[in-house]
Structure 1
Amino acid sequence: MAQEDIFKKLVAHCKEYGYVFQSSEIYDGLSAVYDYGQYGVELKNNIKKYWWDSMVLLHENVVGLDSAIFMHPTIWKASGHVDAFNDPLIDNKDSKKRYRADVLIEDQLAKIEEKINKEITKAKKRFGDAFDEKQFRETNPRVLANQKKFDDLHERYTKALNDSDLNELKQIIVDQEIACPISGTRNWTDVRQFNLMFSTEMGSTSDGAMKIYLRPETAQGIFVNYLNVQKSGRMKIPFGIAQIGKAFRNEIVARQFIFRMREFEQMEMQFFVRPGTELDWFKNWKSTRMKWHQALGFGEENYRFHEHEKLAHYANAAVDIEYKFPFGFKEVEGIHSRTDFDLSQHEKYSGRKIRYFDPELNESYVPYVVETSIGVDRMFLQVISAAYCEEELEKDSRVVLKLPPVLAPVKLAVLPLVKKDGLPEKAREIIDNLKFDFNCQYDEKDSIGKRYRRQDAIGTPFCVTVDHQTSEDNSVTIRYRDSMKQERVNISELGRIIGEKVSMRNLFEKL
């Protein structure tokens, strides 16, 4: 099945099983804004807990913060967002749709790369164990031709980005004959810069109102509070401040569900270091963050680092961690060495000294910063994409979300075999005992087989069936979602068995 079709099924599955809904759907929805349903919010909270605890519990020198969404407007002038927070946009005159010019070109690069990968995949099947991929890449005429196309386009695109050459970006789109996905035509406008910040007004009267912005990132709330945290917590460099919070960007919407939204949530950690040590710490956090992703068990081959084509004005090093979504490798996390740009700018614009006194050096300085920034919603989509699975069985088929048990919204479903003979009461008793430790669900509707399938689709890792033998020996059948194997265990063992499987410690020990 084509990856695009799988992604459509995934989006439909998220709605059908209470993970993600279109916001304001009864009013025909609001573009690029989504609501998380009863299972979606549980999965989202579990992802946030995995990130938060891996940062704050596992690192003695990382603490938390929750800063306000509304901030003084001069902050965004100091950070460069007022003047430089722009995307290069291009409109198709026929469809009236607007696109990011850089995304259109990156998609074209991805198509060329996919052609190369298809040639390699075919050759692997043809030659089997004798296949030498390195030699094939260096000698096959079609691969070499496509590689040259890729390299030439990549070099031209990178130069245009670094030079902020909007005319050249449009010319690349024209020369590559890139068509609008909606109209199929190449009737493009010029490329223009478009500021992504939402603005509003704060004040009781129109004359006294102040223009402010919904924050486009959570990082600035950390920077303007860094000295408050450092002094009140007696923090010594190096130390980090972690934050989870909402941010808002007036994005030009890609057709990729919750991958890019106008209202989204970020998990960011700013790590303050001594100047001159930032690149070592950048390398360290790059490795640490990749381990965090790979610990979920979705396959190391599905992750890669992507070096930035153009560094932001504040950075001296930047890399993305990309995951292989059904629509290709895309960013889920960014790691940036932000130098001292942000803190120095806030010193300049606020007129306040926000330096750190280093007792070891007996001097004060503006710290350098290494940032790790991950989108909660993208991480949610990555987990769901990796977990979604359609399996053909001997007699039928099933759709299952093979979520890591530690992240699964519902940890345990308790199912009475029939709705009589005291079995429902016994099932309720089990839930009443385990609900303090796990998110449990009771289900008695339909046949036991249909209930298993329903829990598979939700992603519940364990189902416990209460039957007539339970009344005799206090045992139940526990069914494991991924293998569908069943075993008989005593009710008293359930807490231990499930607790061991869903403990965050299982992930943390891999980091």
Structure 2
Amino acid sequence: MQKISALAKQRGFIFQSSEIYGGLSSSYDYGPLGVELKNNIKRRWWKSMVQGRGDIVGLDSAIFTHPKVWEASGHLSSFTDPLVDCKKCKRRFRADHLLEAKGIKPELGTLKELPPEVGGCPECGGQLTAARDFNLMFKTMMGPVEDEATEIFLRPETAQGIYVNFNNVLQSTRRRLPFGIAQIGKSFRNEITPGNFTYRTREFEQMEMQYFVKADEADKWFNQWQGDRMDWYKDLGFNESNLRFREHGKDELAHYAKKAVDVDYKYPWGWGELEGIHNRGDWDLSQHAKHSGEDLQYRDPESGEKSIPWIVETAAGADRLTLVALLDAYSEIEGGRSTTTESNKEAETVLKFHPSIAPIKVAVLPLSKKEELNKFTDTVLDQLRPKWMTMYDESGSIGKRYRRQDEIGTPFCVTVDFDTAKDKAVTVRDRDSMKQERIGISEVENYFAEKLEGI
């Protein structure tokens, strides 16, 4: 993970937030390449979920919502983690994490009263307090007066914004079951123990889809979405040996869930969640109907019967997925990959991103800054920039420039050389195979349109 975080900073993927002031714990900013990578992931998700389908529509709901939304959803009473404190060093820990570290399955009894096997504080050995519930929602005030009447919360998930807009979407789009609503947006959780770079942070961006179905079809659609989501990760080129399903036991299920399966990824520290697929039953719409007094039933246009739809949810994090994209693409080659181009490093780093999410699609590398090549370089750039994110690099030997592009995951490099003036052609280099191909300048746009089709 240290190599990934170092590369992320060095090459402009991810920076520590507020670094000039010493940084803010578990808070990160996305640099020039990181914002492109993250946006490409979000675009690919949206294209798969919304643009490429006829049964899912989009939504962008507000971060601030009426406090009663969180009362109805159960977040005010149930959105908690078990917190323990060290009486000596004052560090705080999640009780369930301490149990898992000792190989003990967290259960209600062991969470409230930690067994002797847990021992003392993992940092200093000091005595730990009994566990208590800690609500993960960030609280703030709306307006100039601070009192209970103005108390609101930063949303801990985007899903509730979808549920409270169920009737609005249903009536404005005239949808029939089954149909879905997708949303990408920021959420906030006051995590007790954030960490592992961008894996767990207090501010994060979610990519959630809520699929509304008939109750007797919920299992069918759950299985369908479970398979579809795994296929999506495989289509991104992620190593299949790093992916698995993990079903939640009954004692793990959230208060709203009938069933939950995670798509797990094998991180450097072990297996962990990448995306969750949940059968939420009719809990959410039923609760909001009860607390708001609104009728959130769906009326079947054929039978006339009314019922509360069940919900199958897919919930992924754009930040976590960006981290996984870096981890899965990272490759280190001892001694370098090429004997024909120079390399002063003992090992060369290559990020083998799927072209659809690579921050830079094509790099244009002129062999010389001389004016005789500039007009050809400009012609190539004029063809590429309107369609694909393109980088221009004229500094250093061509070998070093290839290495730099490999290190940021650029799939293709175009070299404008001294023969270009004669044959009106350029050399295209493939990142993964390192094979080179000569194509005419007039063919550049069509060549990459074929190589990057649909991207």
Assess, with a 3 A threshold, how the Cα gap between structure 1 residues 165 and 353 changes in structure 2: closer, same or farther. Answer: farther
- 2:141 is aligned with 1:201: yes
Q: 2:310 aligns with which of 340, 345, 368?
A: 368
Deviation of residue 99 (structure 1)?
2.0
Question: Do residues 166 (structure 1) and 111 (structure 2) align?
Answer: yes
Deviation of residue 186 (structure 1)? 6.0
Alignment partner of 1:307 is 2:247: yes
Number of equivalenced pairs: 445
Distance 2:111 2:161 in 1: 32
Structure 1 residue 33 and structure 2 residue 27: aligned? yes
Deviations 1:240-261 (A, max 9, x none): 0000000000012343000011
Letter matched to residue 354 of structure 2: P
- The separation in 2 between residues aligned to 1:376 and 1:57, in whole angstroms, is 18
Query: In structure 1, how many angstroms separate the alpha carbons of the residues matched to 2:396 and 2:149?
Result: 59
Q: Which 10-residue stretch deviates more, 88-97 or 284-293? A: 88-97
In the alignment, the residues of structure 2 paired with residue 478 and residue 95 of structure 1 have an alpha-carbon distance, to the nearest angstrom, of 58
Query: What is the distance in 2 between the residues matched to 1:284 and 1:23?
Result: 39
Report Cα offsets for 1:300-353 as digits up to 9, x if no partner: 121111111311111111011001111211101000000011111111111111
Aligned residue identity for 2:314: T
**In structure 2, what is the Cα distance between the partners aligned to 1:419 and 1:55?**
45
- CA distance change for structure 1 residues 93 and 480 in 2, over 3 Å: closer, same or farther? farther
Question: Per-residue deviation at 1:95?
Answer: 4.1
Residue 295 of structure 1 aligns with which residue?
235
Pick the aligned partner of 1:221 from 144, 161, 164.
161
Deviates more, 1:390-399 or 1:322-331: 390-399
Tell me how far apart the structure 2 counterparts of residues 295 and 106 of structure 1 sit (CA, whole Å). Answer: 33
Which residue among 413, 426, 443 is the counterpart of 2:393? 443
CA deviation after TM superposition for structure 1 residue 107, in Å: 4.3
Displacement of 1:207 in angstroms is 5.9
Does 1 or 2 have the higher relative contact order (CA < 8 Å, sep 6+)?
A: 1
Q: Where do 5+ consecutive residues of structure 2 fail to align?
A: none
TM superposition shift of 1:92: 3.4
CA change 1:386–1:179 in 2 (3 A) is farther
Aligned to 1:387: 329
User: SS state of the match for residue 423, structure 1?
Assistant: helix
**2:47 alignment counterpart:** 53
Could you tell me which of 449, 452, 464 is aligned with 2:402? 452
In 1: Cα distance, 2:120 partner to 2:403 partner: 43
Indicate which of 68, 73, 94 corresponds to 1:100.
Answer: 94
Give distance in 1, aligned partners of 2:15 and 2:416: 34
- In 1: Cα distance, 2:146 partner to 2:248 partner: 43
Find out whether 1:486 has 2:436 as its counterpart: yes
Q: Which digits, 9 at most, give the CA deviation of each residue in 1:37-91, with x for residues without a partner?
A: 0000000000001111101122211000000000000000000000110011223
**Does the aligned pair in 1 maintain the 2:261–2:277 contact within 8 Å?**
yes
Give 3-state SS (helix, strand or coil) of 1:250's partner.
coil
Instruction: Indicate how the Cα distance of structure 1 residues 255 and 206 shifts in structure 2: closer, same or farther if over 3 A, else same.
Output: closer
2:299 to 357, 367, 370: 357
Paired residues of 2:89 and 2:126 also in contact (CA < 8 A): no
Give the deviation of 1:437 after TM superposition. Answer: 0.6
Distance 1:355 1:458 in 2: 50
Confirm or deny that 1:249 pairs with 2:189: yes
- 1:104 to partner: Cα distance: 3.3
Pairwise CA distance, 1:101: 2.1
1:266 equivalent among 206, 214, 230 = 206
Using the alignment, how far apart are the partners of 2:91 and 2:446 within structure 1?
55
Contact 2:36–2:359 under 8 Å retained in 1? yes
Q: 1:230 is matched with which residue?
A: 170
1:340-383 alpha-carbon deviations (Å, 9 max, x no partner): 11111111111111111012332111111010000110100110
Contact preservation (8 Å) 1:90, 1:191:
yes
TM-score norm. by structure 1 comes to 0.84
* Alignment-mate amino acid for residue 300 of structure 2: D
Cα deviation code 1:182-230 (max 9, x no counterpart)? 44x3642222211000011112434695100000000000000011101
Partners of 1:32 and 1:253 within 8 A in 2: no
Match of 2:319 in 1: 377
Q: Percent identity over the alignment?
A: 53
Answer yes or no: is the 8 Å Cα contact 1:410–1:441 preserved in 2: yes
- What is the distance in 2 between the residues matched to 1:43 and 1:363? 46
1:267-323 Cα deviation digits (max 9, x unpaired): 000000111211111111111111011111222121111111311111111011001
Counterpart in the other structure of 1:66:
60
CA contact (8 A) 1:50 1:504 kept: no
Contact 1:91 1:98 in 2 (8 A): yes
Query: For 1:492 and 1:107, how far apart are their aligned partners in 2?
Result: 61
1:321 — aligned with what? 263
Q: Quick one: distance in 1 between partners of 2:425 and 2:167? A: 58
Structure 2 match to 1:84: 78
SS of the residue 1:276 aligns to: helix
Using the alignment, how far apart are the partners of 1:204 and 1:277 within structure 2?
49
TM-score normalised according to structure 2 size: 0.94
Distance 2:92 2:454 in 1: 43
Q: Deviations for 1:401-437, whole angstroms, at most 9, x for unmatched residues?
A: 1111110111111011011152233212211121111
> Residue 19 of structure 1 contacts residue 38 of structure 1 at CA under 8 Å; is this kept in 2?
yes
User: 3-state SS of the aligned residue for 2:233?
Assistant: helix
Write the letter of the residue equivalent to 1:417: L
CA contact (8 A) 1:91 1:99 kept: yes
State the alpha-carbon separation in 2 of the partners of residues 191 and 205 from structure 1: 34
Alpha-carbon shift at residue 176 of structure 1 (Å): 5.1
CA contact (8 A) 1:428 1:442 kept: no
What runs of 5+ residues in structure 1 fail to find an aligned partner?
1-6, 110-152, 506-511
Q: Which amino acid aligns with 1:311?
A: L
| 1:14 matched residue in structure 2 | 8
Counterpart position of 1:275: 215
- Contact kept, 8 Å, 1:415 with 1:464, in 2: the verdict is yes
Asked whether the 8 Å contact 1:200–1:211 carries over to 2, the reply is yes
